[in-house]
Amino acid sequence: MSRIIVPEAEALLEQELPCLDKGFVRLVDYMGGDERIVQAARVSYGSGTKSYRQDRALIHYLLKNEHTSPFEQVVLTFHAKMPMFVARQWVRHRTARLNEISGRYSIMKDEFYVPEPNKMNFQSASNKQARADENLDSDLAAQMIAEMEADQRQIYDHYTGMIEGGLAREVARANLPLSTYTEWYWQIDLHNLFRFLWLRLDAHAQYEIRVFAEAMAKCAQAVAPLAYEAFQEHLVGCVKLSRSECVAMTALLAGGDSGLVGRPLEQFLEKLEKIKATQPVERVEEFTAAG
């Protein structure tokens, strides 16, 4: 079987997609595409001659019904450069194969992430792990950014001084901050990449890792456009309701009250807002008011 070539993916190969101030995502290689997903799904009874419409319908059916193994036949390899704190979030997705630059063997570069002023936000009062929507005062933000840059310069000077003084690289690196840029090669199949993107493209994900997810999403769409369309339809654009939320929705459709209070009600209304944003429905506003 010959290698599947996707022109849109070929055009992206080796291109650096800029991320943050000094980072990037680069599609190094890929294996398969929509055609491979279809071949894998039909292997039990032969592919025959199928139309674009039938292939598209099959891919949507597979993703909608969580028949995920055909998507694992498509593999993407990325070269990425990101701050260490982003890498530590990223590596929690343990379904990939990666090889990261090592501070034991290499001198780490004098490259550190510095947020843009409009990303210097207050701590959220309701979410312990997130920013609030409001920015710090511009003067205060500028002061803090200057402090970050000064700290980074001083720590890197100490780091290089330790190495020049003969200290082992593996020890000297221990003092470097989480804003230090690192690099790795990251290989993952399309099914698990979609799971990564589903979480990291979400508005609740930290901004810095969301930027990298957006770049990888562009690559995934180029490699397998029909699969990416199905991903948008059945994962990104989908709202999952709990059993109590289904009861609440049934009550609202019948013209009653949701019966939810407190945080469960807030979460339910957030989902209704997502439905409204994804596919405007006239009654969503009524439900939101009635909740």
Interval 18-30 mean pLDDT: 98
Tens of pLDDT, residue by residue over 58-96, are 999 999 999 999 999 999 999 999 999 999 999 999 899
Q: How far apart are the first and last CA of the chain?
A: 56
Amino acid letter at 212? Answer: F
Q: What is the pLDDT of residue 1?
A: 59
Co-location of 21 and 90 in the same domain? yes
Confidence of residue 130 (pLDDT cuts 50, 70, 90): confident
Q: What is the pLDDT of residue 127?
A: 80
Co-location of 226 and 271 in the same domain? no
Co-location of 216 and 88 in the same domain? yes
Confidence of residue 129 (pLDDT cuts 50, 70, 90): confident
pLDDT at 276 over 80: no
Q: What is the pLDDT of residue 287?
A: 44
Q: Which residue has the tokens 């292939």?
A: 55
Q: What is the pLDDT of residue 48?
A: 54
Of 152, 175, 198, which residue constitutes the final position of a domain?
175
155: Cβ contacts below 8 Å, ≥ 6 apart: 175, 176, 177
Percent of the chain with pLDDT over 70: 93
Co-location of 79 and 192 in the same domain? yes
Q: In angstroms, rounded to a whole number, what is the distance separating the alpha carbons of residues 194 and 180?
A: 27
Co-location of 83 and 221 in the same domain? yes
Residues belonging to the active site: 200
Of the candidates 75, 71, 22, the one whose C-alpha atom is nearest the C-alpha of residue 211 is: 22
Co-location of 247 and 214 in the same domain? no
Does the residue 21 lie in any domain? Answer: yes
Does the residue 132 lie in any domain? Answer: yes
Q: What is the pLDDT of residue 238?
A: 86
Q: In angstroms, rounded to a whole number, what is the distance separating the alpha carbons of residues 124 and 281?
A: 30
What tokens were used for 167? Answer: 């200290």
Co-location of 129 and 264 in the same domain? no
Co-location of 91 and 39 in the same domain? yes
Tens of pLDDT, residue by residue over 212-226, are 999 999 999 999 999
Q: What is the pLDDT of residue 288?
A: 46
Does the residue 2 lie in any domain? Answer: no
Does the residue 83 lie in any domain? Answer: yes
Does the residue 1 lie in any domain? Answer: no
Co-location of 188 and 282 in the same domain? no
Interval 251-275 mean pLDDT: 90
Q: What is the pLDDT of residue 284?
A: 43
Co-location of 62 and 157 in the same domain? no
Which span out of 2-6, 123-127, 168-172 was modeled with the highest average pLDDT? 168-172
pLDDT at 121 over 60: yes
H or E segment at 288? helix 282-290
pLDDT at 254 over 70: yes
Specify burial of residue 70 (Cβ count, 10 A radius: 0-12, 13-18, 19+). buried
What tokens were used for 204? Answer: 């609740």
Specify burial of residue 62 (Cβ count, 10 A radius: 0-12, 13-18, 19+). buried
pLDDT at 210 over 50: yes
Co-location of 51 and 96 in the same domain? yes
Are 227 and 74 within 8 A, CB to CB?
yes
The pTM for the full model equals 0.88
Q: In angstroms, rounded to a whole number, what is the distance separating the alpha carbons of residues 122 and 101?
A: 33
Q: Is the dihedral of CA 133, 138, 142, 144 positive or negative?
A: negative
Interval 159-172 mean pLDDT: 97
Q: What is the pLDDT of residue 46?
A: 56
Co-location of 92 and 221 in the same domain? yes
Count of domains forming the chain: 3
Q: What is the pLDDT of residue 49?
A: 54
Does the residue 60 lie in any domain? Answer: yes
Tell me which residue range forms the domain holding 277: 243-290
